[in-house]
A and B are shown apart, each in its own frame.
Chain A
Amino acid sequence: MALKGFAGFAIRKVSAAAITVFAIVCFNFVLFRIIPGDPVRLMFHDPRVSAHKIQEMYEKFGLAGSLWDQFVAYLRQLFLHGDLGYSFARRAPVLEVIADKMPQTFLLVLTALVIALVVGTLLGAIAGWKTGTRLDSIIITVSLTLYSIPIFVIGIIVLLIFAFYLGIFPLGGMYTIGAGLTGWAYWKDVLWHMFLPTCAIIIWYAGEYIIVTRNSMQDVLDQDYIISARAKGIKESAVLLRHALRNAILPVVTITGINVAFAISGVIEAETVFMWPGMGRLVYASVMARDYPVLQGLFLIFAVIVVLANLAVDLIYGKIDPRVSVGGGQ
């Protein structure tokens, strides 16, 4: 049953994604069960707590029984109740703790990704078009250098220069605490706080987009359909846009999917350096507090976000490249 066209393509991709998510769930379980130490005993230092009560606690937190029992309990908890566990350190359900931080992270990441994509693709296209010129060399050297520097390092540099020494931007956080701003003033304050961490992320990403787009553009400009388009008498600008760029951006769409995985890693670094109250900073705090349930929940959510993002990118790519979804041959 080979479904034709886009519908078939979409269904295949979605099923693959579902299987991957399940695999991640299993992996997540295994990973965090290697933890040495007993979280329940840590919570109840008091030796007077009865063994019965402790047993109750074990069961409540799904730590009772054999490994297989625990696994089943975990799956049931997750899929039937949407329960990611309980944070011992924060005394709150993990899902709640994470959900609280999600919007801030999305705000940061999506803004940075969009700007990086636009700027990076443009610069990369220019570099590819003008390969061999001075402008091209400058663009590549700068992007290769910036791409090699870890985001947290870029973050520290930027923080020191623009926040500490020049004092243009705040030292961290998402908004000025205690200022009680609302409405437009609040958002302006947030934007001001958001500027540096976003820049740190953009500087790194744009580098990658530049390099990929440049290579892609170089490949495309070598193709015969470019000269074939010129032979039709089309204006150079149209050749570049309709023929060159339109084909050159295909790899860019592909790597955006992979980039989400990178973006998550990057946002952990950026949020930590700039004390931005999102999921990334939560990772750092949880590591410090040895809050494993939250770490486990975060890992799961990050991985699932990556799968979903890749799925979205695959579907979009299927729409823009007819070779993938429309059947080939005669």
Chain B
Amino acid sequence: MSWLLKRLQGLREFLKLLLTHNMGKAGVAIFVILGIMVIFGPYMRTVDPMRTGVLQNILQPPSSQFWFGTDHLARDIWSQTIYGARIALLVGFVAAAVTTAFGSLVGLVSGYFGGKIDEVLMRIVDFFMMLPYLPLMIALAAVLGPSIWNIILVISITYWPFTARVIRSQVLSLKERAFVEASRSVGASDNLLMFSEIMPNVVPLMFAEAVLMVTNAIYAEAVLAFLGLGDVSTMSWGIMLHFAYDSGLMSMAPWWVIPPIACICATILAFTFLGTAVSDIMKPGYREARGL
């Protein structure tokens, strides 16, 4: 119980720090708005975003009935925008979590054990990093088929090497630090060392990386959806753009295109800001420089 309290207190501390950072403030603000969209979606005058409507309501500009207007199948764009947040954050968080977890694991193992293991793993990492990411994602998505979970898998396969490299660097520099040597001289086993000494120092970095990885995930889902590889059983912002562009009616209905564009950009920016803020805060001396 007290463990939970301590964690919650730490969280409060962290949030306070985040709010002292300029970018942090902006990121948190947008994040809160997204959260509202996700949680209170159903209460915000929304309907099923996939429900098609009647002929008269096709491609309507914003009105009191349809706050953001309708698309070419008379679907309510306001609802699509609000519910799109759920998919964006779902894909964003899950893909970021999986990618960061796997990438960090590889980075940790590679950095800690070094030697042959490191060489082999890094060769694989280098290989994957050399493949251009969009062609890779397109190939994978085409082969695996459209479904939200496949998209998440595709994102993870594409981006894990980047996290692996970053974490490995950190582990390597931590290894140099004296305290690891000191622990070792007491006879601690490898596994114990790895977890108790290095993990606490790597976790903050993993967290910062995960936040930034969300931006990649949001981008990936959007671009794959736009190119026609997305999951059409969901109405994400990327799918909205895909339909808008594909229908050829984009120019006649700017209200169709502006909301998803604004949301995609805002979300990516939010997590970019948050990621930058988090990594700035983690740097030693942040508190002192602000006189906190």
Direct contact of A and B (CB under 8 A): yes
- A148 adjacent to B269 (CB under 8 Å): yes
Q: Which of A35, A157, A269, A306 contacts B130 (CB 8 A)?
A: A306
**Per-residue contact bits, chain A 292-305, to B (CB 8 Å; 1 contact, 0 not):** 10011011001100
Is B134 engaged at the interface, CB distance under 8 Å to the other chain? yes
A95 contacts chain B at the CB level, 8 A cutoff:
no
- Residues of the B chain whose Cβ atoms lie less than 8 Å from the Cβ of A145: 269
Chain A positions within 8 Å of B132 at CB level: 261-262, 264-265, 302-303, 306
Contacts of B251 in A (CB 8 A): 160, 164-165
A265 touching B241 by the CB < 8 A rule?
Answer: no
B223 within 8 Å of A (CB atoms):
yes
Measured between beta carbons, the chain A residues less than 8 angstroms from B134 are: 264-266, 268-269
Decide yes or no whether B67 CB sits under 8 A from chain A: no
Q: How many A-B residue pairs have CB under 8 A?
A: 109
Would B130 and A272 count as touching, CB distance under 8 A? no
**A34 close to chain B: CB less than 8 A:** yes
Task: List residues of chain B with CB within 8 A of the CB of A126.
Answer: none
- Cα distance A273–B226 in the bound complex, in angstroms: 10
Question: In the assembled complex, which residues on chain B have CB atoms less than 8 Å from the CB atom of A72?
Answer: none
Partner of B138, one of A153, A157, A268: A268
CB neighbours (8 Å) of A55 from chain B are: none
Complex Cα distance, B101 from A278, in Å, reads 37
Q: From A43-51, A83-91, A191-199, A283-291, give the one contacting chain B.
A: A283-291
Contact A153 B265 (CB under 8 A): yes
Contact B135 A160 (CB under 8 A): no
B223 CB contact (under 8 Å) in A150, A160, A292, A306: A150
Count residues of B near A (Cβ-Cβ below 8 Å). Answer: 34
Residue B122, interface by CB 8 Å: no
Among B127, B139, B226, chain A packs the most CB atoms within 10 A around the CB of B139
The bracket for how many chain A residues form the interface is 35 or more
Considering the complex, which residues of chain B in the window 267-291 have a beta carbon less than 8 Å from any beta carbon of chain A? 268-269, 272
Cβ of B142 < 8 Å from any Cβ of A?
yes
Are A287 and B142 also in contact (CB < 8 A) when A150-B219, A268-B134 are? yes
Q: Is the CB of A292 within 8 A of B131?
A: no
Query: Taking the complex as formed, is B143 at the interface, i.e. its CB lies under 8 A from any CB of chain A?
Result: yes
Contact yes or no, B268 A295, CB < 8 A: no
B245 at the interface (CB under 8 A from A): yes
Assembled-state Cα–Cα distance A303/B261 (Å): 30
Nearest CB in chain A to that of B139: its residue: A299
Complex contacts, B143 vs chain A, CB 8 Å:
31-32, 34-35
Given contacts A24-B130, A152-B226, A290-B142, 9 further A-B contacts (CB under 8 A): A150-B264, A150-B268, A153-B241, A156-B245, A160-B254, A261-B132, A306-B130, A306-B131, A307-B130
Q: Taking beta carbons and an 8 Å cutoff, which residues of A are in contact with B?
A: 20, 23-24, 27, 31-32, 34-35, 144-145, 148-150, 152-153, 156-157, 160, 164-165, 261-262, 264-266, 268-269, 272-273, 283-284, 287-288, 290, 292, 295-296, 298-299, 302-303, 306-307, 310
Per CB-CB distance, the 9 closest pairs between chain A and chain B, nearest first, are A265-B134, A164-B251, A261-B132, A264-B132, A302-B135, A148-B268, A299-B139, A148-B272, A299-B135
